[in-house]
Structure 1
Amino acid sequence: MNDTATPLLDVRDLCVRYETSGASSWRRHLTTVLRDVTFRIGAGETYGLVGESGSGKSTTGRAILRLADIGGGAITFDGQDVATMGRRTPLAYRRDVQAVYQDPGASLNPRHHVGRAVTDALRRHGLGSAAERRARAEEVFVQVGLTADHLTRYPSEMSGGQLQRVAIARALVLNPRLIVCDEAVSALDLSTQSQIINLLMDVQEQTGVSYLFITHDLGVVRHVSHRVGVLRAGELVEQGETKALFEAPLHEYTRSLIAASPASHPQGRDERRAARQARRRAGVGAA
């Protein structure tokens, strides 16, 4: 994003500490998981957060979602200080900031139709009548590549890719402004992964939603992100525009991650946009 633009999300010097047990069961101490993490996400932007397991990526997402206590620093969303909200987070913030996780099935009741997960999100926020909630659920199911018939299916009747589409639909149904995608495609096979990534990018173009895209996969983050931040042991060691960071990384740790990464996805955002424009000029519908 433009440095002079007002960000949608502004994370400044974020610190998160967890209380852990010491050698003696009666002695407890604080372990710092994040140290002075600072980044910004603009409206309609994808910020990729990458790093090895245990680097603090998911903790960053949890802090933004108000699922982890903030030990220091500030998180500002649309000018509002998130850190002062406490556990009683306003419903408006819960609507504006949604999440899509690695295992969508874990948050779906196996005894309920998947459509209920979407309509329940609307009901909890007091939005619409039962008929209106059903109509809105059908709308977002179509938006993510499902059909109205999928509303009455059980989780066990759907594939992993379909369940992830349900999870995305549940996030979208409230018209959020930011979605935290925490390893949202890492459990999918490559073909399905590409479909979900392209779906997320299409949704962003249609709605202007912003993403914090958390992943250990540099190929994925290079494909989806406008800018990238690199976490190492709770510290943000480097961040910048995606193309510049991958072509000329400044930090030794970033260089080692890129060197160890398998071949990235063949099309990044710029290549994907150019290919779509070429298809339009040739009179071929966009994929």
Structure 2
Amino acid sequence: MTDDRPLLEVRDLTVDYEVGGATAWRRRTLTVVKGVSFTIAPGETYSLVGESGSGKSTTGRAVLRLAEVSGGSVVFDGHDLAGMGAETPLWYRRDVQAVFQDPAASLNPRHQVGRAVTDALRRHGVRSRAERRQRAAEAFEQVGLAAAHLTRFPAEMSGGQLQRVAIARALVLRPRLVVCDEAVSALDLSTQGQIVNLLADLQASTGVSYLFIAHDLGVVRHISHRIGVLRQGVLVEEGTTQDVFTRPRHEYTGSLLAASPASVPDGREERRALRLARGGGLGRSGSSSPFLPVAG
């Protein structure tokens, strides 16, 4: 964390959905997020945790401008999202990226996966095909994939590898905030640990902030600086990771801790093996020593 001013400031956020039939008298308003407030500093990971239907993904969608804000405010780097108009500015789409639960759903099965990364660069003004290809290869190496993976099709890759493609696509634009919405929940425990470890290393090397959304407290333990606990749209607890895990104040947090697996592997043994294999530390973004490819 490098700045006293929050990068993201969510204040009294309320999000309503209309549910019911096609006619007005059948419709009713359902409040999914109820006055939620939190901040994220530059280089910080803030995790939102709660059961399905708690409003955590809707909160993330509001930050991404995929869900309409009914009340309160979302302010990114001093810019209130309410003042942006109906069309999201290109700079905001570049600075705020997302990684979702199912990476395959956003990849065309008939296209090589590298195209997802180069297309993102093209949409954001990188006109040179050679530069797009080079930056895509660098992004793949950064997330532990060889440049040769650029020409693979989604069906030829594992779930963990596809999630690395999704992370590469998000980070190739050099965003300041990434919303990770259940980004590891569909993966097995070992691969979850690898991806969480990867995200932490990328944050250390790039300074990116994360809004990390998960239903399992065990998933967020090794990546979060602070944690907010949502229940039925209400933020019932917030604190540092250590405080939430060792001194939970709300009974609902205690129930989530009791229901959570002991922990997702944090990748420490894997990182130690990689360092020994390289004869030193893990490669960082922009250095001549990129991350080693890791299966998964």
TM-score, reference length from structure 1: 0.91
Letter paired with 2:280: G
Task: Tell me the equivalent position of 1:51.
Answer: 50
Shift of 1:127: 1.9
**Percent of aligned pairs with the same amino acid:** 71
Structure 1, unmatched stretches of 5+, are none
C-alpha change, 1:253 and 1:110, in structure 2 (3 Å) is same
1:81 aligns with 2:80: yes
Deviation track 1:138-170 (CA, whole Å, cap 9, x = no partner) reads 110100011111111110111111100000000
**Deviation (angstroms), 1:22:** 5.7
Task: Give the structure 2 partner of residue 285 of structure 1.
Answer: 280
Q: Report the counterpart of residue 191 of structure 1 in structure 2.
A: 190
8 Å CA contact 1:66–1:87 kept in 2: the answer is no
Q: Is the 8 A contact 2:45 2:209 kept in 1?
A: yes
Instruction: Please tell me whether the aligned partners of residues 9 and 39 of structure 2 are also in contact (alpha carbons under 8 angstroms).
Output: yes
Verify the 8 A CA contact 1:219 1:265 in the aligned structure 2.
yes
For 1:239 and 1:110, how far apart are their aligned partners in 2? 40
Counterpart for residue 143 of structure 2: 144
- Structure 2 distance, partners of 1:284, 1:139, is 21
Deviation string for 1:188-212 (max 9, x for gaps)?
Answer: 1111111111111110000000000
- Partners of 2:92 and 2:263 lie apart in 1 by 35
Secondary structure of 1:263's partner?
Answer: coil
Deviates more, 1:243-252 or 1:35-44: 243-252
Aligned residue for 2:84, secondary structure, equals coil
Match of 1:164, SS?
helix
For residues 163 and 147 of structure 2, the distance between their equivalents in structure 1, rounded to whole angstroms, comes to: 16
> What is the match of residue 122 of structure 1?
121
Equivalence for 2:20: 21
Matched, 1:202 2:229: no
User: Aligned residue pairs: how many?
Assistant: 277
Q: After the TM superposition, which residues 4-19 of structure 1 pair with which residues of structure 2 at under 5 Å, given as runs?
A: 5-19=4-18
Partner of 2:71: 72
Asked if 1 retains the 8 angstrom alpha-carbon contact of 2:192 and 2:264, the reply is no
Which residue of the partner structure matches residue 292 of structure 2? none
Range 172-181 or range 125-134, more displaced: 125-134
The 3-state SS of whatever aligns with 1:102 is: coil
1:84 Cα shift? 2.5
Is contact 2:55–2:230 with CA below 8 Å preserved after alignment? yes
- Give the Cα separation in 1 of the matches to 2:265 and 2:137: 33
Aligned twin of 1:211:
210
SS of corresponding position for 2:109: coil
- Please report how far the alpha carbon of residue 24 of structure 1 lies from its aligned counterpart in structure 2 after TM superposition: 7.2
SS in 2 for 1:246: helix
Residue 98 of structure 1: aligned partner: 97
- Counterpart code for 1:15: T
Partner of residue 227, structure 1:
226
Quote the Cα distance in structure 2 between the aligned partners of 1:35 and 1:127.
40
CA distance in 2 between counterparts of 1:196 and 1:15 reads 31
C-alpha separation in 1, matches of 2:265 and 2:152: 34
Matches of 1:285 and 1:66 in 2, distance apart? 42
Q: 1:267 to 1:113 in 2, by over 3 A?
A: closer
What secondary structure sits across from 2:97 in the alignment? strand
Give the CA deviation at 1:265.
Answer: 3.4
Tell me which moved more, 256-265 or 40-49: 256-265
Unpaired runs of 5+ in structure 2? 283-296
Q: CA RMSD in A?
A: 2.2
d(CA) in 1 for partners of 2:263, 2:86: 39
Task: Give the superposition deviation at 1:83.
Answer: 2.4
Give how far 1:258 is off: 1.1
- Residue 238 of structure 1 deviates from its aligned partner by 0.6
User: Which secondary structure state, in structure 2, belongs to the residue aligned with residue 83 of structure 1?
Assistant: helix
**Which secondary structure does the structure 2 equivalent of 1:84 belong to?**
helix
Structure-2-length-normalised TM-score: 0.88
The change in CA–CA distance for 1:59 and 1:170 in structure 2 (over 3 A counts) is same
Alignment pair present for 1:162 and 2:161: yes
Instruction: Describe the shift of the 1:134–1:189 C-alpha distance in structure 2 as closer, same or farther (beyond 3 A).
Output: same
User: Once the two structures are superposed, what CA deviation does each residue of 1:72-115 show, in whole Å capped at 9, x if it has no partner?
Assistant: 00000000001232430100000000000110000000010100
**Residues of 1 paired with 2:173 and 2:21: CA distance?**
43
Cα distance in 1 between the residues matched to 2:66 and 2:265: 35
Amino acid in structure 2 at the alignment position of 1:59: T
SS at match of 1:87: coil
User: In structure 2, what is the Cα distance between the partners aligned to 1:200 and 1:61?
Assistant: 18
Equivalent position amino acid for 1:166 in 2: V
Q: Secondary structure at the match of 1:223?
A: coil
